Amino acid sequence: MKRRIFLKRSLATGTAAVAVGAGLLSPIRILAATWPEAAFTAKTEADALSAFFGSANAQESGDVTLKAPLQAENGAVVPIKIMTSLTDVEAIAVVVVKNPSPYTTSMQVVSAAAGGMYSARIKMGQTSPVNCYVKAGGKVYMTSQEIKVTVGGCGG
């Protein structure tokens, strides 16, 4: 419980988040057993990324592939698949920029036996870019694709 409070505080101050990244080898490995609440409740993409990866900086990379429809008829079920040829993958995260809570889902690698593939079906409220982040070897790589949504699926 203490760590959660700490994470929230570090978000608020903004500077401490960097300290987490620098002071500990990998914040993700430590988070591995828990649900990253701060990332899921964040209202902006940058907040969610700093809560999950420890930094909001990401580099666009051709080694990350997002397989998703260009147009989704039903926003309640949008199948997406992230593949990467990068080695030493630590985590994969999916952010739907225009959703009420942008941070949608993620996968954390706990042991080396897991590979660089993650797929899920997500909800999308409206047409929005979908950003995929892959953390590998301590660096964050990303790729993005806009998915058009005809009927939104976020309720409300």
Partner 1 sequence: MASTKMKIKKNKAGGHDVMVLAKHPMETGLRKDKKTGEKVPAHFIQTMDFALNGAIVAQANLGPGVSKNPLISISVTGGNAGDTVSVNWTDNKGESGNAEKTIK
Query: What's the min distance (Å) between Cβ of 15 and partner 1?
Result: 25
For residue 11, state whether it binds partner 1 (rule: CB under 8 A). no
The verdict on 112 binding partner 1 (CB under 8 A) reads yes
Is there binding between residue 10 and partner 1 (CB under 8 A)? no
- Measured from the CB of residue 16, what is the shortest distance to partner 1 in angstroms? 22
Q: What is the dihedral of CA 20, 22, 25, 26, to 10 degrees?
A: 50
119 CB neighbour count, 10 Å cutoff? 14
Q: How far is CA 120 from CA 5, 30, 94, 95, 105, in A?
A: 29, 24, 10, 12, 8
Cβ 6 to partner 1 shortest distance, Å = 19
Q: Verify binding: residue 127, partner 1, rule CB under 8 A.
A: no
How does DSSP classify residue 36?
-
Count the neighbouring beta carbons within 10 Å of the beta carbon of residue 96.
27
- Residue 118 in the binding site for partner 1 (CB under 8 A): yes
Kindly list the residues in this chain that would bind partner 1 in the complex (CB under 8 A).
Answer: 32-36, 39-40, 76-79, 81, 96, 99-101, 103-123, 153-156
